[in-house]
């Protein structure tokens, strides 16, 4: 897969607020599918699993089977790659602009 395609999958996965909320829950500890379904009780199990599939396809979660349970873990590496490619580059540029503005105001 191309990096551009992979980035698109990550952005698509992060675009939905429910998927971001699921990643927030996984940030602190791994959860089973059942635990995530209980945490998002306003959605049916099928919908939760569809969201999890999108996250897994984007490589944002890793899945480990333990008996009948499927444990979900956050995989932060794709998010870091997006940060390194886009956020840090533009944040550095914004900081330099603010630094110049501050210098101009002090003169």
Q: What is the mean pLDDT of the chain?
A: 90
CA-wise closest residue to 22 among 58, 45, 48: 48
pLDDT score for 89: 73
pTM above 0.85, yes or no: no
Confidence category of residue 1, pLDDT binned at 50, 70, 90: low
Higher-confidence residue of 43 and 103: namely: 43
Tens of pLDDT, residue by residue over 14-31, are 999 999 999 999 999 999
Q: Is residue 39's pLDDT more than 80?
A: yes
- Determine the average pLDDT of the residues in 78-91: 81
Give me the half-sphere count of Cα atoms (radius 13 Å) on the Cβ side of residue 106: 6
| pLDDT band of 95, cuts 50, 70, 90 | confident
Non-local CB neighbours of 62 within 8 Å, separated by 6+ positions = 72, 73, 74, 75
SS3 61: strand
Tell me the percentage of the chain whose pLDDT exceeds 90. Answer: 65
* Domains of the chain, earliest start first: 3-75 (1.10.10.10)
> Residue 39: which residues within 8 A CB-CB, separation 6 or more?
25, 31
- Overall residue count recorded for the chain in this entry: 107
E-strand stretches of the chain: 31-32, 61-66, 69-74
User: For position 101, what pLDDT does the model report?
Assistant: 80
């Amino acid at each position: 897969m191309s990096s551009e395609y992979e980035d698109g999958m990550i952005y698509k996965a992060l675009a939905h607020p429910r998927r971001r909320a699921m990643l927030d829950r996984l940030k602190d500890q791994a959860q089973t599918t059942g635990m995530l379904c209980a945490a998002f009780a306003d959605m049916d199990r099928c919908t939760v699993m569809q969201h999890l599939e999108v996250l897994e396809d984007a490589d944002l979660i890793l899945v480990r089977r333990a008996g009948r349970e499927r444990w979900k873990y956050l995989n932060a590496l794709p998010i870091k790659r997006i940060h390194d490619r886009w956020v840090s580059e533009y944040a550095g540029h914004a900081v330099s602009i603010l630094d110049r503005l501050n210098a101009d105001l002090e003169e």
